[in-house]
Amino acid sequence: MTLSDTGTRVLAREQAAPAARRGSRLGPRSLVHPPGTGLALVLPAVLFVTVFVLAPLVFAVYISLTNWPLIGPYKFVGLANYESIVQDGAFWQSVVYTLTYTVIVTLPILVVGYLMAVVVRANRRGSTALRTIFFLPYVIGLSTLSFLLVLEAQPGSGAVNLLLKALHITGGETAWLVNGPLATGLICALVIWAVSGLTMVLLISGMQSIPRELYESAEIDGATWWGREFHVTIPLLRRTIGMSLILSVIGSFLAFSQFYILTQGGPGRATTPIVLYIYQRAFVQLQVGAATALSIVLIIVVALISAGQFWLLRERD
Amino acid sequence: MATTVERPAAPARPRRSAPSGRGGRGESSTKLTLYVLAAVLAVVVFVVPLIWAVLRAFQPNSVITAPAGLSALSKLGLGNFQGLTSEGHILRAVGNSLIVAVSTAILTTILATSAGYGLGRFRFRGSNVAFALILVTLMIPFQAILTPLFLELNAMNLTNSRLGLVLFYSTVNLPFGVFVMRTAFASVPGVLEEAARVDGAGTLRTFTHVLRPLVVPGMATTALYAFLAAWTEFLGALTFLTSENLYTLPVSLVNLQLGAYGEVNYGFLAAGAVIAMVPCVILFVALQRYYVEGMAAGGVKG
């Protein structure tokens, strides 16, 4: 070991000693790290991911081929769970509902997020504060916001009704949460309000990396503000826009908390998205085998959408 | 984990058109007017509801369920918080949430830092496979493996346990954390490590004395994300916890809302939700720099 004679370096040798003992003899210029250190450092994380993600994934395939109840013995049923998906009207209802919800919120989230980004992208006075404000609801999270919305959606007393009454739009007695379409509308509004900030953050960094000269030359060419946005900003940001669209579509496909908290999926099944339906099948009706077959379908769909995300990221490099 | 915060919130710093910004020079007054209008609108749409929510926490149930009016603003008091203290459920849930979220932040940061060190500064056979394995889990939503995970945790006696929840949350947050830490370690100049090597420093000492100061921001980012994710998570906690005394705050609040603790008291619900909200707001505003860094480094996240 190349060691000079200063005090600190002696100390360094003492600190290094245990590591050296564990490893093989080290030549004067060889690595100080004992062999296998890199692997040993990565192993705990790999172990966690294997035990709590990959093993359940494999296990899921197995469970989906059984009639697994939550309690008691099970037997193999082959592909019966998958075959019954076709006739599972309630499942398809939840698929249609999730798709409808996704279609309703995706574009507004992009547009609102884009507008927010336009407002705060230049470093003006107060733009940092505005960024914080726009992003705050996302940080607070949909579960907490849903609890707060529960009281504001009450007929006669909630702020939503108070506001609509003050604007002379309604009489202020709307029972938002017990009517399927109204509850869906309210939840969509909450989600757009809460998560557009994420799209904004993703877009800002993209916008700030666009060279200023491009805008200046567009301006010289006489382009209007709209022209510059459509011909400079949007084309250059298409990958970032694609990324944020994919993230919000995945988020919509996996939506759960806001529905569970605000409507419990009701009235009837009117506001039951896929994840809530699977949750009910598994933990209320205790049909774990059937529920897991549905989960496998969900995993495949979400994995395909995520693959698009990785493809976009690869393109960027 | 102690982190130094040199830049507390204070976002309203006047910064006149920094090089990266556009529109500073020769800005038209129309543009400025639009900006001011947008700012006012933003405050009305995004800040007023949150302030309103905080005020709700100080209104008794009778005021919250009465036809709303501005007079409600004068009937504020600490009754809800006193009520929550004597009622017990929510207060215990706050404790559970705190234990789970802090433990998750610590465990995630340890695991991610270790893996990031290994992946960012070592070349070994299988490192690419390990990284791919960790990243690929980003594509598997935990919502879709809830049933096998429940059975597995149950077999390990980890359902209805704070430890089980911490292990689960740490795993969910791990891919992002590893990504951030790998980037942080990989961006440390090799010269520094070389110097440590010449001085004969071992793996641990190289980390604690040479690399650590440079990767602390990444660790803060990882811990912050993990804490916030664990603090607000709902579905997993709802599924894995069955005894009331272990409920985290969101699960406890849903029980309160659905009347499991007796007649629904909206004052308690508002106060509980505000208790859930406050740490998120404070942590985000204080540590925003790390949060935004995570966004930039992660790129992949939901």
% pLDDT > 70, chain A = 88
B43 with B153, same domain? no
How many of the other CB atoms lie within 10 Å of CB of A287? 20
Q: Which residues lie closer than 8 Å to A279 by C-beta, 6 or more apart?
A: A256, A260, A291, B146, B235, B239
Interface A-B, measured as beta-carbon pairs within 8 A, has a size of 332
**With bands split at pLDDT 50, 70 and 90, how would you rate the model's confidence at A27?**
very low
Give pLDDT tens digits for B102-116: 999 999 999 999 999
B170 with B45, same domain? no
B75 with B109, same domain? no
Q: Does A300 touch chain B (CB under 8 A)?
A: no
Task: Kindly tell me if the per-residue pLDDT of B224 is higher than 70.
Answer: yes
Task: For residue A215, tell me if it sits in a domain.
Answer: yes
- Res B6: pLDDT: 39
pTM, entire model? 0.85
Q: Does B33 touch chain A (CB under 8 A)?
A: no
Q: How far apart are CA A313 and CA A317, in angstroms?
A: 7
Q: How far apart are CA B211 and CA B204, in angstroms?
A: 10
Task: For residue B268, tell me if it sits in a domain.
Answer: yes
**With bands split at pLDDT 50, 70 and 90, how would you rate the model's confidence at A158?**
confident
Task: For residue B7, tell me if it sits in a domain.
Answer: no
Question: Residue-wise over B87-106: b if at least 16 C-beta within 10 A, else e?
Answer: bebbbbbbebbbbbbbbbbb
B215 with B232, same domain? yes
Sign for the pseudo-dihedral over CA of B153, B154, B156, B160: positive
Task: Kindly tell me if the per-residue pLDDT of B157 is higher than 70.
Answer: yes
- For residues B231-259, give the mean pLDDT: 93
List B residues 228-287 in contact with A (Cβ-Cβ < 8 A). 228, 232-235, 238-239, 250, 253-254, 257-258, 266, 269-270, 272-274, 276-277, 280-281, 284-285
Task: For residue A78, tell me if it sits in a domain.
Answer: no
Residues A139, B228: C-beta atoms closer than 8 Å: yes
Residues A313, B299: C-beta atoms closer than 8 Å: yes
Task: Kindly tell me if the per-residue pLDDT of A123 is higher than 50.
Answer: yes
B181 with B285, same domain? yes
CA diameter of chain A:
86
CB neighbour class for A7 (10 Å; exposed up to 12, middle 13-18, buried from 19): exposed
B140 with B76, same domain? no
- Res B78: pLDDT: 84
CATH number at residue A174: 1.10.3720.10
Give pLDDT tens digits for A266-297: 899 999 999 999 999 999 999 999 999 999 99
**With bands split at pLDDT 50, 70 and 90, how would you rate the model's confidence at A316?**
low
Cβ atoms of A113 and A193 closer than 8 Å: no
A160 with A231, same domain? yes
How many of the other CB atoms lie within 10 Å of CB of A107? 12
Q: How far apart are CA B17 and CA A123, in angstroms?
A: 5
Task: Kindly tell me if the per-residue pLDDT of A23 is higher than 70.
Answer: no
List chain A residues with CB under 8 Å of B206.
Answer: 32
List chain A residues with CB under 8 Å of B22.
Answer: 121-122, 212, 215
**With bands split at pLDDT 50, 70 and 90, how would you rate the model's confidence at A156?**
confident
Give me the torsion for CA of B244, B98, A49, A58, rounded to 10°.
Answer: 20
Task: Kindly tell me if the per-residue pLDDT of A30 is higher than 60.
Answer: no
Residues B206, A38: C-beta atoms closer than 8 Å: no
- Res A255: pLDDT: 95
Q: Please state, rounded to an integer, the average pLDDT across all residues of chain A.
A: 83
Q: State how far residue A97 is from chain B, nearest Cα, in angstroms.
A: 18
Residue of A nearest to B292 (CA): A201
Q: How far apart are CA A26 and CA A49, in angstroms?
A: 33
Question: Residue-wise over A62-80: b if at least 16 C-beta within 10 A, else e?
Answer: ebbbbbbeeeeeeeebeee
Residue to substitute from B48, B143, B301, interface A, most A β-carbons within 10 A:
B143
Task: For residue A73, tell me if it sits in a domain.
Answer: no
- Res A313: pLDDT: 66
B153 with B218, same domain? yes
DSSP character at residue A66:
B
Q: How far apart are CA B19 and CA B157, in angstroms?
A: 57
- For residues A168-191, give the mean pLDDT: 90
- For residues B236-265, give the mean pLDDT: 90
A31 with A119, same domain? no
Task: Kindly tell me if the per-residue pLDDT of B259 is higher than 90.
Answer: no
- Which structural domain, as residue segments, surrounds residue A29? 1-35
Task: Kindly tell me if the per-residue pLDDT of A8 is higher than 50.
Answer: no
**H/E run at residue A34:** none
A30 with A92, same domain? no
Residue of B nearest to A11 (CA): B201
Residue with tokens 């084309």: A235
Q: List helix spans (H) across A64-179.
A: 80-87, 89-120, 127-140, 142-152, 159-166
Q: Does A137 touch chain B (CB under 8 A)?
A: yes
A4 with A129, same domain? no
Task: For residue A76, tell me if it sits in a domain.
Answer: no
Residues A54, B133: C-beta atoms closer than 8 Å: yes
Split into its structural domains, chain B has a count of: 2
B67 → closest Cβ in A151, A157, A302: A157
Task: For residue A50, tell me if it sits in a domain.
Answer: no
Cβ atoms of A98 and A255 closer than 8 Å: yes
Task: For residue B275, tell me if it sits in a domain.
Answer: yes
Give pLDDT tens digits for B122-149: 888 888 999 999 988 888 889 989 999 9
List B residues 7-26 in contact with A (Cβ-Cβ < 8 A). 9, 11-18, 20-24
Task: For residue A248, tell me if it sits in a domain.
Answer: yes
Q: How far apart are CA B27 and CA A245, in angstroms?
A: 32
- Res B146: pLDDT: 93
Cβ atoms of A261 and A143 closer than 8 Å: yes
Residue of A nearest to B154 (CA): A70
Task: Kindly tell me if the per-residue pLDDT of A9 is higher than 70.
Answer: no
Q: State how far residue A60 is from chain B, nearest Cα, in angstroms.
A: 5
List chain B residues with CB under 8 Å of A161.
Answer: 68
Task: For residue B19, tell me if it sits in a domain.
Answer: no
- Res A228: pLDDT: 83
Q: Please state, rounded to an integer, the average pLDDT across all residues of chain B.
A: 83
Encoded amino acid at A257, one letter: S
B183 with B60, same domain? no
- For residues B35-47, give the mean pLDDT: 91
Task: Kindly tell me if the per-residue pLDDT of A25 is higher than 60.
Answer: no
Residues B22, A256: C-beta atoms closer than 8 Å: no
Q: How far apart are CA B60 and CA B51, in angstroms?
A: 16
Cβ atoms of A19 and A34 closer than 8 Å: yes
Task: Kindly tell me if the per-residue pLDDT of A29 is higher than 60.
Answer: no
Task: For residue B236, tell me if it sits in a domain.
Answer: yes
Q: How far apart are CA B41 and CA B151, in angstroms?
A: 49
Residues B49, A39: C-beta atoms closer than 8 Å: no
Dihedrals phi, psi of A42, to nearest 5 degrees: -85, -25
Q: Does B288 touch chain A (CB under 8 A)?
A: yes
Q: Does A136 touch chain B (CB under 8 A)?
A: yes
- Res B20: pLDDT: 41
Residues B273, A147: C-beta atoms closer than 8 Å: yes
List chain A residues with CB under 8 Å of B123.
Answer: 38
What is the predicted ipTM?
A: 0.84
Q: State how far residue B114 is from chain A, nearest Cα, in angstroms.
A: 5
B152 → closest Cβ in A59, A130, A135: A59
Q: State how far residue B163 is from chain A, nearest Cα, in angstroms.
A: 13
% pLDDT > 70, chain B = 86
A130 → closest Cβ in B17, B42, B254: B42
Q: State how far residue B70 is from chain A, nearest Cα, in angstroms.
A: 10
CATH number at residue B229: 1.10.3720.10
Residue to substitute from B33, B145, B242, interface A, most A β-carbons within 10 A:
B145
B244 with B261, same domain? yes
Give pLDDT tens digits for B55-93: 888 988 878 877 766 666 777 888 888 888 888 888 899
Task: Kindly tell me if the per-residue pLDDT of B26 is higher than 90.
Answer: no
- For residues B36-48, give the mean pLDDT: 91
Task: Kindly tell me if the per-residue pLDDT of A7 is higher than 80.
Answer: no
- Res A16: pLDDT: 37
DSSP character at residue B261:
T
- Res A102: pLDDT: 95
Split into its structural domains, chain A has a count of: 2
B177 with B292, same domain? yes
- Which structural domain, as residue segments, surrounds residue B184? 86-298
- Res A60: pLDDT: 93
Give pLDDT tens digits for A202-219: 898 888 888 888 888 887
Cβ atoms of A279 and A256 closer than 8 Å: yes
Give pLDDT tens digits for B171-216: 999 999 999 999 888 888 888 878 887 888 777 888 888 888 889 9
